[in-house]
């Protein structure tokens, strides 16, 4: 595989590992942190709605910048601007003051389409699903230990201490990303048109809606899963952190498998299977015995869904606008997720299990639609038709 011999991809994936380790220390604790700082379920849902709107703005900015300017510049600006986020979160005196850090972090995703475009351009189409699978596995590896460490530190010294440790890993990630050399400079260097035509967009709408729907199934639940485990299932911060580590174990083991299956059997049916597995994992959160939740957490990993979606978009996007294709998909999914978070907040206030039930329903509906589409279309494995 190209990753084994490409030093720049190795540096990129190493940077992503440190970044995922940093956010893995505290990400599952943020909803609980917001609750500790006074947020109600509706206010928590609103907080995440604003996060997703900032994410949409970040991807929209990525749409403007990616494929037009040097990818090195775009990626470096993204990483540097997001580095102070854990310090801003640690300094928040109330839940409202979490917004500057959360919004800055989400907006900082404007560089991610450039990363995805850079990876897409460096590997052959036949290896896209497996390469994005490697990327997801490496990112998930950062979450294997980090949430358990973060939960332990939070139980002993508070969530703010966990955030300070996270800031150290953000700095390490940024230093590593700045060492990556980017030979291609985007559309500005190739003479590609900055305005996509209708013909450019036509093959992208279906994969973008597929990616957005899969993301919606994930992010409806995201703000409320940790509070549910804490407030309904009675788990400690350390136990919640350990369960997040087990989700990452699932990401490490299942993402690379999903990537290989996507290359061999087709991205769409593999994504449908991953959605059904995710739905089962969320369902088990509500009905399984607490003692078994860490084991069942393995199957509710999100990484295969994200990375199969990225591979599908990368395989369908015209070469001159591959970065903007990822940005468009990010904007669409973030806007849908902002609505989902707001609905989830009101649903949690009515019954804490409702956001989980909605997420399961969306995932199953998406999987059914994908299976129906794969049997009526000419979709075959990525190496055959996704280019």
Over range 164-189, report the average pLDDT.
Answer: 78
Question: Per-residue pLDDT for 188 more than 80?
Answer: no
**Banded model confidence at residue 182, pLDDT cuts 50, 70, 90:** low
pLDDT in tens, 148-160: 899 899 999 999 9
pTM: 0.69
Name the percent of the chain lying above pLDDT 70. Answer: 83
**Banded model confidence at residue 307, pLDDT cuts 50, 70, 90:** confident
pLDDT in tens, 260-274: 888 788 888 888 888
pLDDT in tens, 32-76: 999 999 999 888 888 888 988 898 888 888 777 766 777 778 888
The CA distance from 25 to 145, in Å, is 8
pLDDT at residue 76, rounded to an integer: 87
Burial, 73: exposed, middle or buried (Cβ in 10 Å; 0-12, 13-18, 19+)? middle
Q: Coil, strand or helix: which one is 68?
A: coil
In 3D, which of 124, 133, 117, 5 has the Cα closest to residue 71? 117
In this structure, what token pair is assigned to residue 12? Answer: 């990129």
Domain coordinates in residue numbering, the chain: 2-181+200-385
Question: Per-residue pLDDT for 339 more than 60?
Answer: yes
Output the CA torsion sign for 327, 332, 333, 338. Answer: positive
Give the residue with greater pLDDT, 137 vs 289. 289
**Banded model confidence at residue 128, pLDDT cuts 50, 70, 90:** low
User: In this structure, how many other beta carbons lie within 10 angstroms of the beta carbon of residue 190?
Assistant: 11
Give the residue with greater pLDDT, 58 vs 86. 86
Question: Per-residue pLDDT for 279 more than 60?
Answer: yes
Contacts of 201 (CB under 8 A, 6+ apart): none
Question: Per-residue pLDDT for 280 more than 60?
Answer: yes
* Contact in structure between 44 and 349 (CB atoms under 8 Å): no
**Banded model confidence at residue 303, pLDDT cuts 50, 70, 90:** confident
Architecture, CATH, for domain 2-181+200-385: Up-down Bundle (1.20)
R_g of the chain computed on alpha carbons = 19
């Amino acid at each position: 595989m190209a990753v084994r011999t490409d030093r720049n991809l190795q540096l990129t994936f190493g940077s992503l590992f440190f970044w995922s380790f940093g956010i893995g220390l505290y990400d599952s604790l943020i909803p609980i942190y917001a609750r500790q700082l006074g947020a109600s379920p509706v206010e928590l849902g609103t907080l995440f709605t604003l996060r997703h709107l900032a994410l949409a703005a970040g991807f929209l900015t990525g749409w403007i910048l990616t494929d037009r300017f040097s990818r090195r510049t775009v990626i470096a600006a993204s990483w540097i601007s997001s580095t102070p986020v854990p310090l801003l979160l640690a300094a928040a005196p109330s839940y409202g003051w979490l917004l500057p850090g959360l919004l800055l972090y989400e907006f900082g995703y404007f560089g991610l389409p450039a990363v995805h475009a850079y990876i897409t351009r460096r590997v052959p189409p036949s290896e896209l699903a497996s390469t994005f699978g490697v990327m997801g596995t490496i990112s998930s590896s950062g979450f294997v230990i980090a949430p358990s460490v973060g939960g332990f530190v939070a139980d002993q010294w508070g969530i703010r201490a966990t955030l300070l440790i996270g800031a150290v890993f953000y700095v390490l990630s940024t230093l590593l990303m700045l060492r990556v050399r980017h030979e291609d400079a985007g559309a500005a260097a190739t003479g590609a048109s900055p305005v996509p035509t209708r013909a450019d967009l036509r093959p992208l709408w279906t994969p973008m809606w597929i990616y957005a729907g899969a993301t919606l199934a994930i992010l409806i639940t995201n703000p409320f899963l940790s509070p549910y485990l804490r407030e309904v299932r009675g788990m400690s911060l350390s136990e919640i952190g350990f369960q997040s580590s087990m989700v990452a174990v699932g990401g490490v083991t299942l993402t690379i498998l999903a990537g290989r299956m996507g290359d061999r059997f087709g991205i769409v049916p593999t994504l449908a299977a991953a959605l059904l597995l995710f739905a089962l994992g969320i369902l088990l959160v509500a009905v399984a015995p607490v003692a078994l939740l860490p084991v069942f957490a393995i199957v509710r990993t999100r990484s295969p869904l994200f990375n199969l979606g990225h591979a599908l978009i990368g395989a369908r996007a015209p070469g001159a606008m591959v970065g903007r294709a990822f940005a468009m998909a990010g904007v669409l999914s973030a806007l849908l997720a902002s609505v989902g978070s707001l609905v989830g907040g009101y649903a949690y206030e009515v019954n804490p299990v409702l956001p989980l039930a909605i997420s399961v329903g969306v995932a199953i509906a998406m999987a059914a639609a994908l299976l129906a589409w794969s049997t009526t279309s000419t979709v075959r494995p990525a190496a055959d038709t996704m280019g």
